[in-house]
Structure 1
C-alpha cells in the first residue's frame, strides 16, 4: 500500500477563514501493483463541525481490501459556528473528484453523506456512484440541528434551506446510490434516508436501500476495528479541529462541548487520541450492521 497526502489548494487559492494553517487535503491509499483499481473518495461525517476519524482511514482500508484505491477527504468544517460553510465543503470535494480523469465513486457518512450527495445533485462533480451511510439529507424539520447551523448559520434564507435540502435537488443525472441506516438512530432521523430514496425513485434513478432494525448513529464499519482500536487510526482527519481547539486554549476561550474534558496543559494530538479512544469504549461491534460494507462494495463494483 502506498499512502500519500495530496493538498487540494495551491498558495492563495483557499480563502475560508480558518484559525490556523489548515488547508483541505486527501489522504490516498493506493495499490502498488500495475492492475487497474477504481478510485473511491471517503467522506467522514461530523455535523460539518469535525471530520470524524472513525469514518476515515478504517473505511478507506476496508474498501482498499476490496480492490479500490481510496482517498479520505479532510474537508473544511465549522467547529465554532463562526463562519457558515455554505458551498465551501462542496468545493473541497469537487476539487478532490477533479484529481481523477474518470468519474470517481464516493462514500459519505452522516454530514459527510450530505456533502457527497450535495456535490452529486448540484453537479459539482461527476460520480460513478455513491454510498450514503445514515446521511443528513434535509435542512427542514427532520434535519440534524448542528449540521444545519454549521452549514447555514443561525438564520438561513429559504433559498439556502431549499438548495441544501437534497430531497428537492435530485435530477435525471444524479448518480446511482446505495443508502444504509439504522432504524434506531437517535441523532439523524432515519427519515432522511427515505426522503432521498423517494426522491431518487421519483426521478427513476437507481437506488438501493439497506435498513437495520437496531444501531446507534455513527456506526461506521460497525466491526471490531471501529469499536476497539487503541490507539485510534487516522487521527489526521481532526487536523482543523486540533487547530481550532488550540486557538481557544491560547485565547482562554471556552472549549467546544465535545472537548470540554480535554486537558489544555497537555499535547493536543495526544489529548484528541485519548478522547477518541474513550468515546469508542461505548461502542460495540454488530455483525449484522457490519454487513453493509461488502454489500456497498458489490454495488459500486457493479456500476
Structure 2
C-alpha cells in the first residue's frame, strides 16, 4: 500500500492505493478495473474494517483499489460539499495514472459503506448530472464511474440516521445533500446494494428508497436484503471481525461478496471466467 496526497482548493486529503503490479509473463499488459472505496464511520472516522480488507479482496479479484479518506466533520469543515469535490478530484487524478498502472478508465467502481455509502449515492445522484455538478465542482469530470456498490448505506439522513438533527447539520448545513434519492437522474449508474433488514443503526428503508428511485428511472440495480445481521458487517467473516465480537460474523450475509462479483461480471466489469 502506498499513500497519495491530493489537493482540492487548498484542502489536502489522502488516498491509500493498492495497485496490482504488471505481470512480467504477459506480452501485453492488461488494463484492469479500479474501485474507489469509501469506508463508513458516521462521518467521525474512517473504519479500517471497511478499508484495507475490502481493498485486498478487490485486488484478489483482479482489480486495483483505492481507499478515499474523504472529509469528515471537524471544527473547520462539514462533509458536504467538500467530500464530493474530493471524489471528483480523485477521479480526475486517475486519468494521469492510467498508463502508469494500466487502469481501464471505462471500468471505475465507486464503493461505499454506511456513511461512505451516502457519499457514493450522493455522487451518483448529483455529480453525474452536468447541470447539478457545475454548482459543486467547476472543473470537467474527466473520468466517469461505471457502476456503484453500496453496503448498508445511509441514503436519506431523515430516515433513522443520524438520530440527532444537529449532527446532520454538521455533516451538511445545506439540506440539499441530505437525501441522495431525491436528486437521482437517469444519468445515475448501475448499482449493487446490500443490507440486512435487522440493521439497528441505519434503517433498511434507506436501501429500499434508493432502489425504488432507480427502478422508477429504469437504472439497472441489484438489491440484496438479508434476513438477519448487525450494522457494519464489512466482509462478515473472521477477516473483519473485531476480536471477540460475534456480531461481526454472519455466514449468510458473507455471501454478499460472491453475489457482488457475479454482478460485476453481469455488468461486464469483470470477465466471466
TM-score, normalised by the number of residues in structure 2: 0.80
The aligned residue for residue 212 of structure 1 is 226
* Contact map agreement 2:39 2:47 (CA 8 A) in 1: yes
How many Å apart are 1:110 and its aligned residue?
0.4
Residues in 1 aligned to 2:35 and 2:65: alpha-carbon distance in whole angstroms:
5
Q: Name the structure, 1 or 2, with higher relative contact order (CA <8 Å, separation 6+).
A: 1
The aligned residue for residue 136 of structure 2 is none
The aligned residue for residue 2 of structure 2 is 4
Cα shift readout 1:8-66 (whole Å, capped 9, x = no counterpart): 117xx334xxxxxxx31111111112322101111101111111111000000011111
Q: Does 1:29 align with 2:27?
A: no
How many Å apart are 1:155 and its aligned residue?
9.3
* Contact map agreement 1:84 1:150 (CA 8 A) in 2: no
Q: Does 1:14 align with 2:14?
A: no
The aligned residue for residue 134 of structure 1 is 152
The aligned residue for residue 263 of structure 2 is 299
Matches of residues 85-104 of structure 1 in structure 2 within 5 Å? 85-101=79-95, 102-103=105-106, 104=108
Residues in 1 aligned to 2:122 and 2:258: alpha-carbon distance in whole angstroms:
24
Q: Does 1:50 align with 2:14?
A: no
**3-state SS of paired residue (1:153):** helix
The aligned residue for residue 64 of structure 1 is 59
* Contact map agreement 2:229 2:247 (CA 8 A) in 1: no
How many Å apart are 1:68 and its aligned residue?
0.7
How many matched pairs? 237
Alpha-carbon distance change, 155 to 76 in structure 1, aligned in 2, over 3 angstroms:
closer
Gaps of 5+ in 1: 16-22, 229-276
285, 297, 303: which one aligns with 2:249: 285
Q: Does 1:177 align with 2:191?
A: yes
How many Å apart are 1:294 and its aligned residue?
1.9
The aligned residue for residue 118 of structure 1 is 122
How many Å apart are 1:177 and its aligned residue?
0.3
* Contact map agreement 2:79 2:171 (CA 8 A) in 1: no
The aligned residue for residue 271 of structure 1 is none
Residues in 1 aligned to 2:172 and 2:17: alpha-carbon distance in whole angstroms:
37
TM-score, normalised by the number of residues in structure 1: 0.72
The aligned residue for residue 145 of structure 1 is 163
Residues in 2 aligned to 1:28 and 1:301: alpha-carbon distance in whole angstroms:
23
How many Å apart are 1:88 and its aligned residue?
1.0
